[in-house]
Amino acid sequence: MKRQTLILLVCLLSLPVMAQQVDRSLLIKPERTNYTETSTYKDVMDFTKAVIKDSKYVSQISMGTSLEGKDIPVFVLANPKIETAAQAKASGKPIIYIQGNIHSGEVEGKEVVQILMRDILMGDKSYLLDNQIILFVPIYNTDSNDKMEAGRRPSQEGSPIETGIRSNSQGWDLNRDGMKLETIESRGLIQNIIVPWDPTLFVDLHTTNGTWHGYSVTWAPSYHTAGEKAPYDFTWDKILPEVTEKALEKHDVHLGPYGYYYTRREGWPIKSIYTYNHHPRYLVNQFGLRNRMAILSEAFAHERLYQRINSTYAFVSEILEFTNKNGDEMLEINAKAEQDAINLVKEQGGKIQKGVRFEMVALDEPVPAYRTYNHMETTNERGQKSFLRKPEIIELKDIVNHSAFEATKTATLPKGYIIPKEFANIAEHLKRHGVQVTELTNNKRASGEVFTATNLERANRPFEKHKMATIEGSYAAANKRFGKGDFWVDMAQPLANLIFYLLEPESDDGLVNWNFFDEHFDSNGIAEKPVDYPIFKYFEIK
C-alpha cells in the first residue's frame, strides 16, 4: 500500500469523525453494505490478503483444509514477526488465540477479527504487539459460512439478513467436538495449532440465542471441573472484571456474566441466572483441562449487527489490552498450574479422588446489580400467567449466579493408564489431543484398579450423531501384566487432567460417553453380564 493511503487510513481509523476516502478493499463486507450483509469466505480471504500485504508483523499459516477444500487461515501477528511455533515459544511471549465463526450464523466475531487485524497492522493499535503474539482465526467454520439464507437465526432479527449454518459441512457442531475430535476443523485446531503453539488464552466468539438480559456481550471463563483452579481464578477474578470495567469506561459497552433465566419457573423479578454446562466438549472448557485460560464471548443476539460488532470489538480489544500488560503473569500462572497437575499425580496418584461427573451450583457471591430488560406479569388468552418484556433495561439486586460446578461422582486419580494393544485407536486419539503415549517394548507389571461395568445405557435420542453411552459399575483392586505393543500413558505429564476426563469410564464427557467402547461392551455381552473396562488404571508400575 502507498504511504499516503496508509496515512489516510490511520487518520480514518483513529479519528472516525473525519470524512476521508478509504480504499474499498480495506473495508469489511458489513461496512460496505450498511451492516446488512456478513462476509463470505472469499470476502474474508480478499480482505485479509489486502490487510497483510505490506505488513512486516504478520505471517499466515494454515489450520487445515475443510471438507469442501477451503484453507482455514490462521494469522500470526507479532513484532518482530513470528512464523513458527518454535519461534513463538523461543520468544517467551504469551500467545493469545482469538477465533470467530465457530457457529456460522454468529457472525460478528468474524468481522471483529478482521477489523482488529486492520487496526493493529494498519491503524493505531500496533502497540498491542509489544508484549504478545496474537493468533487470529477469523473464519473457523469456513464451509458453512457461505451457505447463507435469511431467517436462520430468528433471535438476530434479520441483522444481517442472511447467515450461514451452525454445524460444519459434516453436520457436526464444532463446539461439541472438543473431546471426540470427529471433525476436520477440531483436528486441525488441536493438532496443528493448539498442541504446537500452546496458547496462553483461548477466546471463542459467539452470539447468544435467547435471554433478554441487559448486556451487549456476556462472558464465561473455562469452567474448572477436573482441571486446575488457578487459571480459572485469574480469568474470573482479574481478566473479566477489569475488561468489563474498561469496556464500559472506554467504549460505553455493558459486559456481564453469561446466563439464562426462567420467568416461568421463578416469576418476575427473577432470582437466579444459570450458565451453560461444564463439559470439556466445549472448547473453552477444555482449555481448563489443558491448564490454560479461556474466555467465551457471547454477543447479545437481539442487538443489530453494527452494535454487536461494536460491543464484541470493545470486549476483544480490551482483552488484548489486558493481555498485553499482564501476559507474563498469565504465563506464570499457567505454568504453575501445569506443574501442580503433574505434582499431584506424582505425590497423590492412587490416593486422592477427583470429580468425573458434575452438577451446576450457585456461586457464593450473587451478581450485585444484574442488568436485564424489565418484564411485566399478565395472563394470556388461555388464562395462564405469562411475562411480557418491557422496553427498558433495569438492574436487579443480588441475583444468584449458578455459574460453578461441583462433583457428584469421583474416581481415584491414578499414576497412569495402560491401554491394551487391541485399543490402538484409543492411543491414537489421545495422541491427537497432544498426550504423550508410549508403546511398551518389554513387560511391565502394574497394580491398580480395574473397572467392571454392570450396566451400559445409551440415550434414546441421538446427540451429535451419537447415542451417548453411560456405564455404571465399580472399581476393584487388581494386578496385571502388560507387554510389547500395549500403550502406556504416564499421568505425570501436562495434560493429566484431560487424560483423566477422557479415560475415566464414569466421566460425563469421556470416550465411553462418545461410544468409543460400545463395540467392546456389546461384543462381550454387557446386556447379560458384567464386562471389564479395558483400560487399566495403575497406581504403581514395575
**Contact positions vs Zn ion (CB under 5 A):** 103, 106, 206
Q: Least distance from C-beta 257 to Zn ion, angstroms? A: 17
Question: CB neighbours of 30 closer than 8 A, spacing ≥ 6?
Answer: 36, 37, 38, 39, 111, 160, 305, 306, 309
Other CB atoms within 10 Å distance of the CB of residue 321: 17
Query: Residue 156 Cβ, how far from Zn ion at the closest point, in Å?
Result: 12
Nearest approach in angstroms of CB 332 to Zn ion is: 31
- Measured distance CA(153)–CA(146) in Å, rounded: 15
Q: How far is the CB of 103 from Zn ion (least distance, A)?
A: 4
Q: Given the complex with Zn ion, which of 54 and 173 has the nearer CB atom? A: 173
DSSP string covering 431-468, please? HHTT---EE-SS-EEEEEEEEEEEEEEE-SS-BTTB--
Q: Which C-beta is closer to Zn ion: that of 100 or that of 414?
A: 100
Q: Read off φ and ψ for residue 43, nearest 5 degrees.
A: -55, -45
Number of continuous H segments (helices) and E segments (strands) in the chain: 16, 22
Asked if 508 and 281 touch (Cβ cutoff 8 Å), the reply is no
- Kindly state the cell numbers that stand for 281: 466438549
CB of 263 to Zn ion, least distance (A): 23
Q: Are residues 537 and 391 in contact, defined by beta-carbon separation less than 8 angstroms?
A: no
CB of 166 to Zn ion, least distance (A): 7
Which residue's CB is nearer to Zn ion, number 177 or number 338? 177
Name the residue nearer to Zn ion (CB basis): 103 or 292: 103
Give least dist CB 206 to Zn ion, A: 3
Confirm if 99 and 30 have CB atoms less than 8 A apart.
no
Nearer to Zn ion, 54 or 162 (CB): 162
Which residue's CB is nearer to Zn ion, number 228 or number 298? 298
Minimum CB separation from Zn ion for residue 111, in Å? 15
We find the least distance from the C-beta atom of residue 205 to Zn ion, in angstroms, to be 8
CA distance 227 to 497: 6
The residue among 99 and 497 lying less far from Zn ion, judged by its C-beta, is 99
**Shortest distance in whole angstroms from residue 331 CB to Zn ion:** 28
For residue 199, the Cα-to-chain-centroid distance in whole angstroms is 12
Q: Which is nearer to Zn ion, 147 or 397 (CB)?
A: 147
For residue 113, the surrounding DSSP H or E stretch is: helix 108-121
- CB closer to Zn ion, 147 vs 467: 147
CB 184 within 8 A of CB 71: no
The three three-digit cell numbers of residue 529, written as one number: 453380564
- Residue 160 or 355 having the CB closest to Zn ion: 160
Q: What is the C-alpha to C-alpha distance for residues 224 and 361, in angstroms, rounded to an integer?
A: 13
Residue nearest to Zn ion (CB): 206
* Pick 109 or 505: Cβ nearer Zn ion: 109
The residue type found at 5 is T
| Nearest of 46, 277, 117, 98 to residue 204 by alpha carbon | 98
> Measured from the CB atom, is 274 or 487 closer to Zn ion?
274
Are residues 387 and 433 in contact, defined by beta-carbon separation less than 8 angstroms?
Answer: no
Task: Find, among 368, 180, 179, the residue nearest to 288 by Cα.
Answer: 179
Find the shortest distance in angstroms from Cβ 188 to Zn ion.
19
CB of 94 to Zn ion, least distance (A): 25
Rounded CA separation 408/429 (Å): 27
In contact, 320 and 117? CB cutoff 8 Å: no
Q: Are 455 and 473 in contact (CB under 8 A)?
A: yes
The percent of the chain in helix, strand and coil, each rounded to the nearest 5, is 35, 30, 40
